[in-house]
Amino acid sequence: MKEGHLHPSTQFLRRLVKIYEELGFEVFESPEVDSEWYNFDALNVPSDHPSRDIQDTFWLKDGRVLRTQTSNGQVRFGEKNKPPFRIIVPGRCFRNEATDASHETTFYQVEGLYVDKNVTVANLFWTIDQMMKKIYGESIEYRIRPHHYPFVEPGYDVDIKNEAGKWMEIFGSGMVHPVVLKNMGIDPEVYSGFAFGLGPDRMMMKKFGIDEIRLNLSGDLRFLRQF
């Protein structure tokens, strides 16, 4: 008779997957432990570039890494498939840092990738708009601003307002960098694409008013059974 409860992250990831499924995105899963190539170099993040410093990476003793974002699925999928394709990669990512109420070593991400002929920034902005409205409702106020990520050019961040009325980043995106397309074996002279990554944990915390991110992986049934 007792009702069971799905983990809130499961529920939130599903909502996102459903939204993208309706837009024709297929779910692809990539490994949590991956090579430096797929996690960094293939994504145009060379080891001698300061962009690497932004990530606090868990390095394994065998030289591999715990993926810092699910973007490691981009080149893994792209090198085995011919465009056009649309995928999302939901899953766990890792950050090697001390934790507190708003910082966690382990979090979820949904990465998206669309490669085709004539994909434009305008297409990316439309997809962002769809997604924001489907998650937060038609009246959601958000802003897009230019931002740099080495795996895209140009790159954009999406912010929404938090309870205090301050802009809070929830979404990174951009046009797939030609170097990344080349690493997939795709000709950037013919194809273009966009990619995005969003963190459902923050979205979930905002939606439910959760003030402690570490509860997510605490196994505390007082928390889990509320969902």
Partner 1 sequence: MKYLFSWLKEYCDTDKSPEEIAQEITRLGTEIESIEGGQIDDKIIVAKILEVKPHPNADRLQIAKITDGIKELEVVCGAPNIEAGQLVPFAQVGAKIADMEVEEAKIRGVSSPGMLLSERELGLSEKHEGIRILEDVELGEKVSKYFAKETVLEAEVTPNRGDLLSHFGLARDIAAQEKMIEKPTLELKESKEKASDFVSVEIKTKNCPVYLARVIRNIKIGPSPDWLKVKLEAVGAKSINNVVDATNYVMLDLGHPLHAFDAGKIEDHKIIVSEIEQEIEVETLDGTPRALLSGMMVICNAKRPVAIAGIMGLKNSEVDDQTTDIILEAAVFDVKSIRKSSKELALQTEASYRFERGVDAGGVEYALDFAAKMIADLAGGEILHGVVQAGEEEKSREVRIDYVRINGLSGVEYKKEEVDRVLNNLGFKIDNDIAKIPTWRHDIFDWEDLVEEVVRMSGLDRVKPEPIKVLSKPEMTDYFKKEKIKDLLTSFGLDETANYSFLSDEDVVAAKINPGNLLEVANPVQEENRYLRNSLIPGLLKNVAKNPSFDDIEIFELGNVFSRDKEWTSLAIATSGRSARKAGEIIKQLCEKISVSESDFKIYDIDREELERFKIKKPNVSVAEVSLGEILPKCKFENLSLQVDDVEIQYHNVSKFPPTKRDLSFIVDSKISPKEMKKAILNATKFAFLVEVFDEFEDKRFGENKKNIAYHIWLQDKDKTMSDSSADEEISKIITSLKEKFSADLRS
Smaller CB separation from partner 1, 138 or 221: 221
Task: Work out which of 71, 157, 158, 195 binds partner 1, going by CB under 8 A.
Answer: 157
Q: Could you tell me the CA-to-CA distances from 161 to 76, 103, 136, 208, 223 in Å, in that order? A: 34, 19, 12, 15, 25
Smaller CB separation from partner 1, 75 or 216: 216
Smaller CB separation from partner 1, 15 or 161: 15
Residues within window 114-143 making contact with partner 1, judged by CB under 8 A: 114, 116, 118-123, 125-129
Residue 196 as a binder of partner 1 (CB under 8 A): the answer is no
Question: Which secondary-structure segment (H or E) carries 115?
Answer: strand 106-116
- Does a cis peptide bond (omega within 30 degrees of 0) precede residue 8? no
Residues within window 95-114 making contact with partner 1, judged by CB under 8 A: 96-99, 105-106, 114
Residue 29 as a binder of partner 1 (CB under 8 A): the answer is yes
Residue 80 as a binder of partner 1 (CB under 8 A): the answer is no
Question: Which secondary-structure segment (H or E) carries 37?
Answer: helix 36-39
* End-to-end CA, the chain: 17
Smaller CB separation from partner 1, 177 or 202: 177
Q: Which residue has the tokens 């932004």?
A: 54
